[in-house]
């Protein structure tokens, strides 16, 4: 057997294979032994037809095709083994000659990634500062959660909670009807349809009012059309906010010693959230800088195709449908969805490959002890389902999932150490990052 190889763009290898006549003859004999058991030839018992008679009955071409089915996979496997070709997908076969057998095999191989001077990657970490008024806004939201809603005998005002009979007709079609719906009129907020909230303001209890409403553009077949909402207010409740003082703070949740303690707790919560968001942004930018600074990230398109299929499957599951049902729901063809997802999927593959190479370059692994500890953490935090989670992740596949997630997390930790040195972050400093890790990696953390 003669084999020549040629490296192609996008991590592909072309193999040209010429098979020895002796190999071909052995495969023809195997093809005969396979076909003679399946084909009945007049005048011979099944399985006893001589080869020349079977060949005459079926034709030489049929025997050769059967031999190719046997021989091509065999010699292809031999060729990639002998030439150290690490295939990651099935090859595309092009037959050059039937006898003697020669063919081309184009196959996707492992990506090639060279991160270059990745230890010079630097990204500025933004400071998480609480915006002016953020704490006060949080306190106002908290007061609304503890507000009383008292019935009042006056026309509807912004901020009220209204119970009413509502019927909406657009273009001669009844699109909404509820004889006892409840809604709140918030400043600047849309209720049901644009124009509804503004039209209800000022309505009196027991008096039917017609309100002009409009369907937003792009919503459905009625987009841009106007109609009438018929509203009869049945009850109006006024929101009465509690006074912001120590007594209020002492009644919130499990209770605080006073308003100052409540403010401090809210400030701490906001600061931690902003720090987590800043860390997430920092890590995403660090991965982007790692990819941008790489000397080479070459990969076969099959990886992008697989990522697109995974994204479509995720989106379908999020709607409770299978892929065909999801495509029917969004009224798009598979080709349209593939084209839309191509840029995002390509970038996710690039980021994933860069992080995998970083883990390899840095010898980052998840130890069995770390995997055990992670499984225990998941089980402990799962409440009544803890034992079920422990069993699920203790399987071979489950441990593999945990191992991949831990390896990704540790790789992102290392990248954050490298990229954060520009702003004085100590290598090894640990920040809130678990949520940021999966997102920055470009693929959802498995669980």
Within a domain: residue 116? no
CATH value at residue 199: 3.10.50.30
Cβ burial, residue 62 (10 Å; 0-12/13-18/19+):
middle
Task: Please check whether residues 167 and 106 belong to one and the same domain.
Answer: no
| Element (DSSP H or E) covering residue 14 | strand 12-18
* CA end-to-end distance (rounded Å), the chain: 48
Tell me the average pLDDT across 70-91: 95
Rounded Cα–Cα distance for residues 179 and 168 (Å): 12
Residue 380 located in a structural domain: yes
In this model, does residue 194 exceed pLDDT 70?
yes
Determine the structural domain holding residue 220 and report its residue range.
Answer: 148-240
Asked if 157 and 94 sit in the same domain, the reply is no
Residue 168 binned pLDDT confidence (cut-offs 50, 70, 90)? very high
CATH number of the domain to which 346 belongs: 1.10.3120.10
Q: Tell whether 120 is covered by a domain.
A: no
The tens digit of pLDDT for each residue in 16-35 reads 999 999 999 999 999 999 99
Judgement on whether residues 314 and 420 belong to the same structural domain of the protein: yes
Tell whether 385 is covered by a domain: yes
Query: pTM (2 decimals)?
Result: 0.74
Calculate mean pLDDT across residues 373-390. 94
Residue 115 lies in a domain: no
Tell me the average pLDDT across 213-223. 79
Domain count, the chain: 3
Q: Specify whether 8 is located in the same domain as 79.
A: yes
264/182 same-domain check: no
Alpha carbon separation from 384 to 100, 239, 376, 389 (Å, rounded):
67, 39, 14, 10
Question: Looking at the structure, do residues 270 and 385 belong to the same domain, yes or no?
Answer: yes
> Do residues 195 and 264 share a domain?
no
Residues 195, 333, single domain; the answer is: no
444 pLDDT above the threshold of 80: no
8 A C-beta contact, residue 213 and residue 194: yes
Residue-wise pLDDT for 219-255, tens only, equals 567 788 899 999 999 999 999 999 999 999 999 988 8
Question: 268 and 385, same structural domain?
Answer: yes
Residue 262: band (very low, low, confident or very high) from pLDDT cuts 50, 70, 90: very high
Say what the pLDDT of residue 443 is: 46
Q: Are residues 174 and 280 in the same domain?
A: no
Contacts (Cβ under 8 Å, ≥6 apart) of 251? 146
- Residue 398, domain member (yes or no): yes
């Amino acid at each position: 057997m003669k084999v020549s190889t040629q490296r192609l763009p996008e991590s592909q290898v072309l193999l040209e294979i010429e098979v020895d006549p002796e190999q071909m003859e052995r495969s023809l004999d195997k093809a005969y032994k396979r076909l003679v058991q399946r084909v009945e030839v007049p005048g011979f018992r099944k399985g006893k037809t001589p080869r020349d008679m079977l060949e005459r009955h079926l034709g030489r071409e049929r025997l050769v095709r059967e031999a190719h089915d046997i021989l091509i996979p065999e010699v292809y496997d031999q060729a990639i083994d002998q030439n150290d070709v690490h295939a990651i997908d099935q090859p595309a076969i092009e037959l050059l000659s039937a006898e003697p057998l020669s063919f081309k095999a184009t196959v996707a191989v492992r990506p090639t990634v060279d991160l270059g001077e990745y230890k010079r990657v630097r990204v500025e970490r933004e400071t998480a500062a609480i915006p002016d008024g953020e704490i006060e806004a949080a306190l106002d939201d908290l007061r609304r959660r503890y507000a009383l809603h008292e019935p009042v005998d006056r026309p509807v005002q912004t901020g009220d909670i209204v119970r009413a009979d509502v019927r909406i007709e657009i273009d001669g079609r009844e699109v909404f009807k509820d004889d006892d719906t409840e809604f709140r009129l918030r400043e600047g907020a849309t209720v049901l349809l644009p124009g509804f909230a503004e039209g209800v303001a000022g309505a009196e209890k027991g008096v039917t009012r017609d309100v002009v409403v409009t369907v937003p553009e792009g919503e459905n077949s009625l987009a841009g059309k106007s109609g009438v909402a018929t509203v009869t207010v049945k009850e109006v409740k006024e929101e009465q906010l509690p006074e912001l003082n120590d007594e209020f703070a002492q009644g919130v949740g499990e209770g605080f010693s006073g308003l100052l303690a409540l403010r401090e707790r809210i400030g701490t919560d906001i600061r931690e959230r902003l720090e987590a968001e800043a860390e997430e942004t920092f890590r995403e930018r660090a991965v982007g800088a790692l990819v941008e600074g790489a000397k080479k990230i070459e990969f076969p398109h099959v990886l992008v195709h697989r990522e697109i299929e995974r994204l479509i499957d995720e989106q379908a599951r999020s709607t409770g449908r299978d892929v065909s049902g999801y495509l029917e729901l969004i009224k798009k063809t598979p080709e349209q969805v593939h084209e839309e997802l191509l840029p995002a999927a390509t970038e996710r593959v690039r980021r994933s490959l860069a992080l995998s190479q970083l883990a390899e370059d840095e010898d980052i692994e998840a130890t069995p002890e770390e995997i055990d500890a992670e499984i225990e953490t998941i089980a402990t935090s799962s409440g009544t389902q803890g034992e079920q989670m422990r069993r699920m992740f203790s399987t071979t596949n489950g441990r593999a999932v945990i191992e991949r997630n831990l390896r990704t997390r540790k790789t992102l930790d290392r990248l954050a150490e490298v990229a954060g040195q520009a702003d004085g972050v100590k290598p090894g400093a640990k920040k809130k990052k678990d949520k940021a890790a999966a997102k920055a990696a470009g693929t959802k953390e498995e669980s």
